[in-house]
Amino acid sequence: MSTQFFLNLPVADLDRAKAFYVALGHTINPKFTHADAACVVISDTLFVMLLTHPFFQGFTERAICNTETHIEALFALSCASREAVDELLERALGVGGREVGEPRDLGFMFQRTFADPDGHTFEAFTMNEAEFPGADAG
């Protein structure tokens, strides 16, 4: 079995969060979904667990990050092309997400960043590995 990765995110409104991720083209796995949590299937091995604040707080003694004033992490999502990056951003913006910063074109990589309705930050990017600086330093 391949290693699976579950990213657990606290959300203020579970239904709103589920609708956002479904609108981005993902599905909800009902096996791991209940009144306080929803499992968003990103790929065969990557899942986002949306947890209500009280449910999330049951797993930690630390405070939930205020994503309006602090960043918890920057989650990067690879896309097949620059057009796919733009399409993902447009879908996110159309369902309550907001763009964070300006698009960045580094030559070998193009990226745009968005926050979901709870402020969790995702960087959509496409990269030409052959043009990555130092790629032939091997």
Is the model's pLDDT at 137 over the cut of 70? no
Report the pLDDT averaged over residues 50-58.
98
**Structural domains of the chain ordered from first start:** 1-63 (3.10.180.10), 65-138 (3.10.180.10)
* 3-state secondary structure (DSSP) of residue 79: coil
Is the model's pLDDT at 135 over the cut of 70? no
Q: Residue 59's CB: how many other CB atoms inside 10 A?
A: 10
| Torsion from C-alpha of 103, 90, 48, 45, nearest 10 degrees | -80
